Structure 1
Amino acid sequence: MSEWLTIQEAAAHLKVSKPTIYRWMRSGALTFYKMGSSTRFRRDQMDAVAQKMTGQAEAQEVRRKCSVCGNTEFVSGRVRSTGLMYFQPEKTKFLVATDSFVSVEAVACTACGNVDLFADPEKLARLKPKES
């Protein structure tokens, strides 16, 4: 199986239409290569695009594995400083009836000691400005 895909093969691989492939090319969401007059895509980059389109169920599944070693056992806790740590998005909706501080949850892998931080996705969604 070839490492390089044509536009037609890329569309079939991602299960989208050819116009979607062209739109993603124009927006920069998809990396492509020009070889003479033909356009080609690398198969591994197509898989990366497919991973970007994960839903909340898959995101929760990824959260259950250590990002370093893949272990599934964690110890929950907090990362401490002189106070609680919060994530604050650079841009938020204007005039929101809440603060823009998003609480951060921490989990430590029992196998390798890696600490992963997770922000509250529901609050992030409420604060995210609408695309114009």
Structure 2
Amino acid sequence: MLDLEQRRVRTERVVARFRDRPFSWTGRRTCLHLARAQMVALGHKPPKMPDLRSALGAKRALAATGHAGIMDLLDSLLPRIAPAGMLIGDLALMEGDDAFDAVVIAAGGKVLGYHGDDLARGLVAIEPVVTQPYKAAWRL
């Protein structure tokens, strides 16, 4: 297992790749791409991602895996943890838009991800304002 400093450095590299780059299905800048990049950076070997060019294409690809949603997919790849136990670089799932929930990366007291209200800004720091903002979390 990586120590916290290694997790921080590797997470910063992933964040740098996605920061200031708007959300884009065709540009491969989605929370699914972010999650896969983070898994690889922290030493996991997730399956290859299909070429996702739209929300509909992503739904079809997810259905083809036999998983009901992103939560089920991540459960099949990573150990689930309590959100309160997240370390820097772990993944969490938050309420998303109509098509999908949002995968975010833990970064101390906040998380990093694409925010539906401002997808053009790219990856942003999100400070949860509700008591239980996370649907699930996974250790990387």
TM-score, structure 1 as length reference: 0.25
TM-score, structure 2 as length reference: 0.24
Q: Which has the higher contact order (CA 8 A, sep 6+)?
A: 2
Look at both structures and tell me which one has the larger radius of gyration over its CA atoms.
Answer: 1
